Chains A and B, each alone.
Chain A
């Protein structure tokens, strides 16, 4: 290799080693350290000049070590498990089934921003120290949505309805929630959600899902079959305004004294329940659910009660597909009022990620595998749409002006 470079340090080091042995102090401890250093130096010195084979061997060793470090990171990156369900692959799944609609959420794409406030009655303070439960009012922003990835889906009573609410606390903390109008979730973990999405994807030839794939999914997912039976037992309400919205997943609420309680919550409307079939579905209006809530909110503020259901020891916290036993204590902790509505084109809500794991101190995630997965997938969806040029939403500012005139 480089001869002059190689020889120089060898000579210098040799010289140093010699000088050093003379300078060794008599002090015992120091002497010990000295000896170690001497050995180190000796080791470094020993091959006064490396043979070509040694240079090659050592360089190769360094190369292998560096490759091993890179390989370890590639492993952490999921590079060696191409079929592992990751955030990116999950969102790819939504895009595969629904197509890419630039600027829109990959799920719950069709939506309508709302704002209002939450009046806490103080009853929640014994369960959680979260500032939101102190008596008083905090502002909220929210978004009604339909649970599909197509932003132009025609409204229908059977499509899950979503409500995202962000509670904004005076100390700068936030509580973001993403609820739907179903009391339990039909999928026990992210893999089941994804597999169902794939099994229900329309087949290109028929534009309908493959019944065989769907049947196979149901056969292997009894919890989904159970959830669908629960859904059938109560007909959906006629609109967004008279729907109950559920947090679905258990969270852990912690009081000021440090007592932890598993909690599921729901928003129960003051607007009276009317079954969807009793109200009928207006023909010709693809946006009848959204136009309905616009008209309703512009007539009078809409109100829901935030009801906490307190779990008992032994109630499962890792399974959103099953209900807790009947008779669990329920606590009304305050009233949510939504009094303004805005189109997505002008609202900041379009650019809010209703990540269910943005939580204030006093509320923490349970061991439900859906939570971390939702947080990760929402984030991936948010990142993708944030960088895209937005296409117009189905519900426009004109729709809201029209609602105001009614």
Chain B
């Protein structure tokens, strides 16, 4: 057995990746559904708020974990430009994942709306009561959501393209299953 380079992200990194991916997709779906449904608005927003805060916590843990464990090398077949895009898109996704729940929390604070979690548990406001600020943040929340959605589409599309067309082993870095032993030896 040689000590060749690592080909896969650490198991904990992959676990958080797929968990957060599932929650983010759920949150985007709830987000667009609730603002266009009179009947389900309340039910959906009652899930959206605490799930968003859970996401914020998970993303914070995820970032620390990612910084601790580092990343395996990108396939040698990728050009420097492609590698730059890959790394920049990871940074962009992290920024959006932090920004979305923080802007949501902030906009409810600025509207002086209780940030209800469950039962009588609610969060403290993180911004002063200012409806103009609320209006700006509310719009920002929507714009960031679309940005996150299209970033997800690009990310998902690129993963599929690498996996099915380029077949350069990029996808196996983050695959939910453990890659073959040769990837680890």
Inter-subunit contact B153/A76 (CB<8 Å): no
Please measure, in the bound complex, the distance between the C-alpha atom of A358 and the C-alpha atom of B49, giving whole angstroms. Answer: 13
Residues of B within 8 A of A61 (CB): 164
Shortest distance between the CB of A382 and any CB in chain B (Å): 7
Judged by a CB distance under 8 angstroms, whether A66 is at the interface is yes
Judged by a CB distance under 8 angstroms, whether A13 is at the interface is yes
Please measure, in the bound complex, the distance between the C-alpha atom of A369 and the C-alpha atom of B75, giving whole angstroms. Answer: 55
Judged by a CB distance under 8 angstroms, whether B40 is at the interface is yes
Judged by a CB distance under 8 angstroms, whether A70 is at the interface is yes
- CB within 8 A of B36: which of A72, A87, A379? A87
Closest to B119 in A: A361
Please measure, in the bound complex, the distance between the C-alpha atom of A57 and the C-alpha atom of B111, giving whole angstroms. Answer: 50
Among B36, B135, B164, the most chain A Cβ lie within 10 Å of the Cβ of B36
Judged by a CB distance under 8 angstroms, whether A59 is at the interface is yes
Where the two chains meet, the residues of A that have a C-beta atom closer than 8 Å to any C-beta of B are 5-6, 8-10, 12-13, 16, 19-20, 23, 25, 33-34, 37-38, 40-41, 44-45, 50, 55, 58-59, 61-63, 65-66, 69-70, 72-73, 76-78, 84-88, 90, 131, 171-174, 190, 348, 351-353, 355, 357-358, 360-361, 365, 369, 371-373, 375-377, 379-380, 382-383, 386-387
- CB within 8 A of B41: which of A10, A41, A372? A372
Closest to A21 in B: B182
Inter-subunit contact B77/A8 (CB<8 Å): yes
Residues of B within 8 A of A45 (CB): 167
Residues of A within 8 A of B136 (CB): 387
Residues of B within 8 A of A9 (CB): 75, 77, 166-169
Inter-subunit contact A37/B156 (CB<8 Å): no
A-facing mask of B27-40, CB < 8 A → 1, else 0? 01100111111111
Inter-subunit contact B134/A87 (CB<8 Å): no
Inter-subunit contact B36/A73 (CB<8 Å): no
Which residues from 145 to 169 on chain B have a C-beta closer than 8 Å to any C-beta of chain A?
Answer: 149, 153, 156-157, 160-161, 164-169
Closest to B42 in A: A372
Inter-subunit contact A376/B42 (CB<8 Å): yes
Shortest distance between the CB of B2 and any CB in chain A (Å): 10
- CB within 8 A of A37: which of B33, B42, B134, B181? B181
Shortest distance between the CB of B130 and any CB in chain A (Å): 8
Please measure, in the bound complex, the distance between the C-alpha atom of A387 and the C-alpha atom of B40, giving whole angstroms. Answer: 25
Inter-subunit contact A86/B182 (CB<8 Å): no
Interface size on B, residues (CB 8 A): 53
Inter-subunit contact A386/B138 (CB<8 Å): yes
Inter-subunit contact B38/A377 (CB<8 Å): yes
Judged by a CB distance under 8 angstroms, whether B12 is at the interface is no
Contact A78/B160 with A87-B41, A372-B42 known, Cβ cut-off 8 Å: no
Shortest distance between the CB of B132 and any CB in chain A (Å): 7
Inter-subunit contact A375/B42 (CB<8 Å): yes
Please measure, in the bound complex, the distance between the C-alpha atom of A101 and the C-alpha atom of B77, giving whole angstroms. Answer: 60
Residues of A within 8 A of B168 (CB): 9
Inter-subunit contact A88/B120 (CB<8 Å): no
20 residue pairs bridging A and B, Cβ less than 8 Å apart: A8-B76, A9-B169, A10-B167, A13-B169, A23-B182, A44-B167, A55-B165, A58-B165, A59-B161, A62-B161, A66-B157, A76-B32, A77-B32, A173-B120, A190-B38, A358-B114, A372-B40, A375-B41, A376-B41, A386-B134
Inter-subunit contact B113/A353 (CB<8 Å): yes
Judged by a CB distance under 8 angstroms, whether B131 is at the interface is yes
Among A19, A369, A373, the most chain B Cβ lie within 10 Å of the Cβ of A373
Please measure, in the bound complex, the distance between the C-alpha atom of A363 and the C-alpha atom of B35, giving whole angstroms. Answer: 24
Knowing that A70-B153, A76-B36, A172-B122 are A-B contacts, what are 18 other residue pairs whose CB atoms are under 8 Å apart, sorted by A's residue number?
Answer: A5-B77, A8-B76, A9-B166, A12-B76, A20-B180, A34-B180, A59-B165, A66-B157, A73-B149, A131-B120, A172-B114, A352-B112, A365-B42, A369-B38, A372-B38, A372-B42, A376-B35, A387-B131
Residues of A within 8 A of B178 (CB): 33
Judged by a CB distance under 8 angstroms, whether B179 is at the interface is yes
Closest to A84 in B: B36
Residues of A within 8 A of B119 (CB): 361
Inter-subunit contact A77/B153 (CB<8 Å): no
Among B33, B168, B180, B185, the most chain A Cβ lie within 10 Å of the Cβ of B180
Inter-subunit contact B120/A174 (CB<8 Å): no
- CB within 8 A of B156: which of A25, A69, A348? A69
- CB within 8 A of B122: which of A76, A173, A352? A173
